[in-house]
Structure 1
Amino acid sequence: MELVSVAAIADNRVIGDDGELPWPSIPADKQQYRERIAADPVILGRRTFDSMREDLPGSHQIVLSRSHGAFDVDTAHHAGGVEAAIEIAEALGAERAHVIGGGVIYDLFQPHIDRMVLSRVHGSYEGDTYYPEWDESEWQLADETEYDRFRLQEWVRADTGADRDQ
């Protein structure tokens, strides 16, 4: 199964500020993001899940949380860790799962992801949540498209992934 990290990040790696996006809404980015993840399960943290309850993304939501709470959403599943989240996605028959945040979740999954699809929002913003740094020598920029106010980049891991899965 392919794991894809999907995020919108500012030039200074900021992704959030007090649970919100730190920049004004970018409709073109929101549309491509929603279309990209619509048919697949998403992996996200409890706070990110709660912030999206009005319009949940993905076909299923795999919520990574230390505490096991009941969800009032039929498509939501609890996972206690990275391996459990991956197992749930595989049990759902998914060929791909999208990691969609927040910051701690991106950090936890960074060693396991196969691709990153990043909306690089032009400018630096104040915030309290950052996308993890990565070693560009371990990744290849596979595609890049410029939009108004952001640049969409797709990065693929340069290795085969064998050493990450052990």
Structure 2
Amino acid sequence: MQLVSVAALAENRVIGRDGEVPWDHIEADVRQYRERVAGSPVILGRRTFDSMRDDLPGARQIVVSRSVDAIDVPTAAVADGVEAAIELARETVAEGDYPDETVYVLGGGAIYELFQPHVDRMALSHVHGAYEGDTRFPAWDDDEWAVDSETAYDRFTLREWVRREASA
């Protein structure tokens, strides 16, 4: 199983302000994001899940929450922490028809921070410009990560990051 963080972040790592993205809508980014996660399991926090209830991403949602133990959505399950979510993701991938065995981490900010030590890759839309916000994507050590691919779009650059092999 591969864990992959997916996020759009400004040059100053801002990802949100008052529960919304702080930049104007970028259709190309939303489209590539939706296509990426469409048939895969996703991990997200309860507030992010609640904000997406009308248009849930992924084929199966693993909601990380300590305040609820059940969600009234048939494709969603609740995990009470990182380890429980990772175990549920492994079970989901093993039981389902997910050929690439990828599980996407979709945020919010605290979820990205909690899962950062566990992710194998990051698919990050680097939005041009710096924005004011109250939520940031966690910093990462450039020595631990390398850009695997990069695609320029109008208003953002999509970078696929891979965790470097640990030296023996």
TM over 0.5: yes
For residue 43 of structure 1, what is the aligned residue in structure 2? Answer: 43
CA drift of 1:160 comes to 5.3
CA distance in 1 between partners of 2:137 and 2:131 (Å): 13
* Pair 1:78 & 2:78 matched: yes
Letter in 1 for 2:103: A
Question: Secondary structure in 2 aligned to 1:8?
Answer: strand
Letter in 2 for 1:73: V
Letter in 1 for 2:129: G
- The Cα offsets for residues 10-41 of structure 1, whole Å up to 9 and x where unpaired, read as 00000000100100000000000000001111
Question: Secondary structure in 2 aligned to 1:68?
Answer: coil
Question: What 5-or-longer segments of structure 1 have no aligned partner?
Answer: none
CA drift of 1:141 comes to 0.6
CA distance in 1 between partners of 2:72 and 2:79 (Å): 16
Question: Secondary structure in 2 aligned to 1:23?
Answer: coil
* Pair 1:115 & 2:134 matched: no
Query: Which of 105, 113, 116 pairs up with 2:111?
Result: 105
* Pair 1:20 & 2:20 matched: yes
For residue 58 of structure 2, what is the aligned residue in structure 1? Answer: 58
For residue 33 of structure 1, what is the aligned residue in structure 2? Answer: 33
Equivalent pairs, count: 162
CA distance in 2 between partners of 1:151 and 1:60 (Å): 27
Instruction: Give 4+ residue runs of structure 1 displaced > 6 Å after superposition.
Output: none
Question: Secondary structure in 1 aligned to 2:54?
Answer: helix
CA drift of 1:45 comes to 0.4
- The Cα offsets for residues 41-72 of structure 1, whole Å up to 9 and x where unpaired, read as 11000000000000000011100011234311
CA distance in 2 between partners of 1:160 and 1:88 (Å): 26
CA distance in 1 between partners of 2:50 and 2:75 (Å): 14
Q: CA RMSD in A?
A: 1.4
